[in-house]
Amino acid sequence: MNQTNQKEPCYEEMKPYEKFMAKGPEYLSEEELLAIIIRTGTRTMDACSWQSRCLPSARAGKRAARPAASVRRGLCKVNGIGRVKAVKIKCLIELSRRLAMADTRERLQFTKPETVADYYMERLRGKETEEVILVMTDNKNRLICDRTLSKGTVNCSLVSPREIFLMAMEYHAVHILLIHNHPSGDASPSRQDIEITKHLAQLCGMMQLPLTDHIIVGDNCYVSFRESGLLK
């Protein structure tokens, strides 16, 4: 009886769609995933090579203050990318960000700084300037709402204690937290961060409105003033 030797498929030689069908999306590179979504190449470049040129521009666009402008300036410079394909790529990036936020939202507990940092890290990802967010919670540390207090320069945001207290009174907050980002990616608090937090904590104590934490988020890292002993 003759036995037929079946040759094992060479996944490295497969086209992205074939590889997807054979192994699943988790085995595809970023270039291959994008090649399937956009489904295009150029006369002188196959789809995956072409996608590898698109990805740096797409990633750079995540840090743009005005995404629409970055689409035209970045992605549209790649040969074969027009406005429509560029918009598709940016929409995919935004969808990914929102899905990541939804996932971290399910684990969000305001008594656990790590879960708070994970959630707001996704929300603030890609911002070119510092933003300060006021989080207001009830007597059981459940979220009432959050509001953006300020949008600053690349390394400084202004925080008004008066605005914080008025907003906390408006929403009947029992506790408050401050969240802000460092666009540099380094979450280490500056001397100004420490001084502002200390001053605000003193004022909050006088107003009987506890400042439970100040969390700085960076690039996949965070610093909690409470955990670090900078806020008691």
C-alpha to C-alpha distance for 55 and 37, rounded to whole angstroms: 13
Among 67-71, 100-104, 128-132, 213-217, where is mean pLDDT lowest? 67-71
pLDDT, tens digit, for every residue of 132-178?
999 999 999 999 999 999 988 767 777 889 999 999 999 999 999 99
pLDDT digits (tens, 9 = 90+) for 26-61: 777 777 777 777 765 444 445 555 545 555 555 554
Instruction: Say what the pLDDT of residue 5 is.
Output: 54
What's phi and psi for 35, nearest 5 deg?
A: -60, -40
> Residue 112's pLDDT is what?
94
pLDDT given at position 55: 53
In this prediction, residue 24 carries a pLDDT of 80
Q: Distance of alpha carbon 16 from its chain centroid, rounded?
A: 28
**What's the pLDDT score for residue 63?**
44
pLDDT at residue 92 in the model = 74
**Domains of the chain with bracketed CATH:** 13-101 (no CATH), 107-224 (3.40.140.10)
Least confident of 2-11, 17-26, 127-136, 183-192: 2-11
pLDDT of residue 64: 39
- Give this prediction's pTM: 0.65
- Characterize 144-159 residue by residue with b for buried, 16 or more Cβ atoms within 10 angstroms of its Cβ, and e for exposed: eebeebbebeeeebeb
Residue 114, pLDDT above cutoff 60: yes
pLDDT digits 0-9 by tens, 55-98 = 555 555 444 334 444 444 555 566 566 777 777 777 677 777 77
CB burial class (10 A; 0-12, 13-18, 19+) of residue 106?
exposed
Report how far residue 71's alpha carbon sits from residue 32's, in angstroms, rounded to the nearest whole number: 21
Rg of the chain over all Cα atoms, to the nearest angstrom: 23
Q: Compare 183 and 40 and report the one with higher pLDDT.
A: 183
What integer pLDDT is reported at residue 56 of this predicted model?
55
